[in-house]
Amino acid sequence: MKIERIIISDYCNHYKIERTFIDILDEMGIIPFESKNNEKFMDSEKLEDLDRCRQLYYELHINPEGIDAILNLLQKQKKLRQEIQDLKNRLRLHE
């Protein structure tokens, strides 16, 4: 499967968001962006994360530090759910 590249200025124009918000996400390491010729890009596989950050910031008015904390907690939750599933699978083998 080929990963598409998204031009951040197009994303900002489409959703009418400030470029400074993208810069903050990039500076804080919340979402990595690539730069080339004064333009930022991202892989389409990160689009869901960017959409989640946009919604948290613009719709729920959560600051970037809060967004970072939320995303870290969601990542930990996902890891724990996978661990639980792995343990259930191992338990079934011993039953």
**Cβ neighbour number for residue 77 with a 10 Å cutoff:** 10
pLDDT in tens, 7-39: 999 999 999 999 999 999 999 999 999 998 889
What is the tens place of the pLDDT at every residue in 79-95? 999 999 999 999 998 87
**How many angstroms separate the CA atoms of 29 and 86, rounded?**
30
Find out whether 54 and 22 touch, Cβ atoms under 8 Å: no
Query: Rounded mean pLDDT of 53-70?
Result: 97
Given a cut of 80, whether residue 1 has pLDDT beyond it is no
Average pLDDT score, the chain: 93
In the chain, where does DSSP find H-type helix? 8-15, 19-27, 47-54, 64-94
**Token couple for 68:** 């970072």
pTM exceeds 0.85 for this model: no
